[in-house]
C-alpha cells in the first residue's frame, strides 16, 4: 500500500588504448544496452525494495520516489498502489509492461491507458523534485487515480486530511494535481519511457505469508539522448586527437 513510518526492516577502468577507442567501446556498450532495454522482458524481473528514498513523510506515509534493486540495479521507483503493503528488504518477482502497450495488456489495475498516462505525467512532476508539500500532493494524487476511496478513507482519519485531498487551488493539494493530470497528454514515445512492474510472486519477506507487494512505475528516459551526447563527446575527442597528431607532425 504504502510505507508506514515504522522502523521494521530498516536496519572499471579501461586499458590505455586511446580516447577514441575508449569512446567507441563505451558507445558500442550503450548502444547494445539500449537495444536490449527496448525489448520487452519475457520473464519476470526480480525486485527488492531497498529504501523509502528521501521524499519525506506525509500523514505517516513515505513519499516517493523510493529505491528498489531491479535485477541487480539500484533504481528509483514510484508507487501507484495504495492498497498493498511493501517492506524494506522484501523481494519478489514482477511482470514488466511498457506503458505504451497498456491499452492492450493492462496490468493489475485494469483501468485502461488513460489513468496510467495520467500517473506517468504525475510521475514526471514528482521526479522533478518539487518541495516536500508538493511532492506529497503529487504522490497521493497518483494513489488517488487508482484507489480514490482508499485514499479518501485513509486521509479522513487525520486532521487536515480532507482539505489536503480536496484542495484544488494550489500545488499543496491533491485535487490540484489531479486536475492538471486530467488535462495533460503524453506522446506515445513518452509513454514508452515508462515501465509498470506488477508483482507476480513473492521471493522473501512478509509477502511469503501475506499478499503480494505494491505495483511500481519506473521511468526509463530514452537512451537515444545519452547516445547523442556521447557521440558528440567522441567526435570532440577524435578532432582533438587529429589536431594533436598534426601538431606533432
pLDDT in tens, 147-188: 999 999 999 999 999 999 999 999 999 999 999 999 898 999
Cell numbers that stand for 212 in this block: 503480494
Which range marks the domain in which residue 200 is found?
A: 19-242
Structural domain contains residue 205: yes
Q: Is residue 148 part of a domain?
A: yes
Residue 147 covered by a domain: yes
- Please give the helix or strand (H or E) that residue 25 lies within, else none: helix 19-37
Q: Cell numbers 577524435 correspond to what residue?
A: 238
Quickly tell me which residue has 498502489 as its cell: 81
Q: How many domains does the chain have?
A: 1
Residue 15 CB partners (closer than 8 Å, separation 6+)? none
CB atoms closer than 10 angstroms to residue 99: 25
Q: Which three cell numbers stand for residue 237?
A: 575527442
Rounded Cα–Cα distance for residues 82 and 114 (Å): 18
Q: Is residue 166 a part of any domain in this protein? A: yes
Interhelix angle for 148-155 vs 132-146, to 10°? 130
Residue 13 lies in a domain: no
pLDDT digits (tens, 9 = 90+) for 39-56: 444 457 999 999 999 999
Identify the helix (H) or strand (E) that includes residue 231.
helix 223-248
- Of 161, 160, 181, 179, whose CA–CA distance to 169 is shortest? 179
28 lies in some domain: yes
Q: For residues 92 and 186, what is the distance between their CA atoms, to the nearest angstrom? A: 30
pTM given for the model? 0.74
Assigned domain for 9 exists = no
Handedness of CA 78, 216, 168, 153 (dihedral sign): negative
Identify whether 215 is part of a domain: yes
pLDDT tens track, the chain, 249 positions: 544 433 333 333 223 434 444 444 444 444 434 444 444 444 579 999 999 999 999 999 999 999 999 999 999 999 999 999 899 999 999 999 999 988 665 566 656 677 899 999 999 999 998 899 999 999 999 999 999 999 999 999 999 999 999 999 999 999 999 999 998 989 999 999 999 999 999 999 999 998 999 999 999 986 544 455 455 555 555 555 666 555 555
Residue 52: closest CA among 42, 40, 64, 41 = 64
Amino acid at each position: 500500500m504504502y510505507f508506514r513510518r515504522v522502523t521494521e526492516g530498516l536496519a572499471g577502468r579501461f586499458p590505455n588504448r586511446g580516447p577514441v577507442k575508449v569512446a567507441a567501446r563505451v558507445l558500442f556498450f550503450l548502444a547494445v544496452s539500449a537495444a536490449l532495454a527496448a525489448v520487452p522482458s519475457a520473464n519476470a524481473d526480480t525486485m527488492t525494495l531497498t529504501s523509502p528514498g528521501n521524499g519525506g513523510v506525509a500523514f505517516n506515509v513515505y513519499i516517493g520516489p523510493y529505491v528498489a534493486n531491479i535485477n541487480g540495479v539500484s533504481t528509483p521507483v514510484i508507487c501507484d498502489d495504495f492498497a498493498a503493503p511493501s517492506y524494506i528488504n522484501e523481494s519478489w518477482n514482477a511482470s514488466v509492461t511498457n506503458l505504451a502497450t497498456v491499452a492492450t495488456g493492462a496490468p493489475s489495475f485494469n483501468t485502461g491507458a488513460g489513468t496510467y498516462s495520467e500517473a506517468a505525467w504525475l510521475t514526471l512532476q514528482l521526479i522533478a523534485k518539487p518541495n516536500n508539500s508538493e511532492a506529497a500532493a503529487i504522490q497521493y494524487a497518483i494513489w488517488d487515480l487508482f484507489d480514490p476511496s482508499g485514499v479518501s478513507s485513509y486521509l479522513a482519519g487525520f486532521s487536515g486530511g480532507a482539505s489536503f485531498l480536496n484542495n484544488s487551488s494550489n500545488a499543496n493539494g491533491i485535487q490540484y494535481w489531479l486536475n492538471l493530470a486530467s488535462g495533460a497528454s503524453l506522446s506515445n514515445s513518452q509513454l514508452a519511457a515508462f515501465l509498470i512492474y506488477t508483482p507476480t510472486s513473492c521471493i522473501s519477506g512478509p509477502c511469503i505469508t501475506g499478499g503480494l507487494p505494491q505495483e511500481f512505475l519506473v521511468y526509463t528516459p530514452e537512451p537515444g539522448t545519452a547516445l547523442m551526447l556521447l557521440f558528440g563527446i567522441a567526435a570532440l575527442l577524435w578532432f582533438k586527437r587529429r589536431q594533436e597528431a598534426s601538431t606533432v607532425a
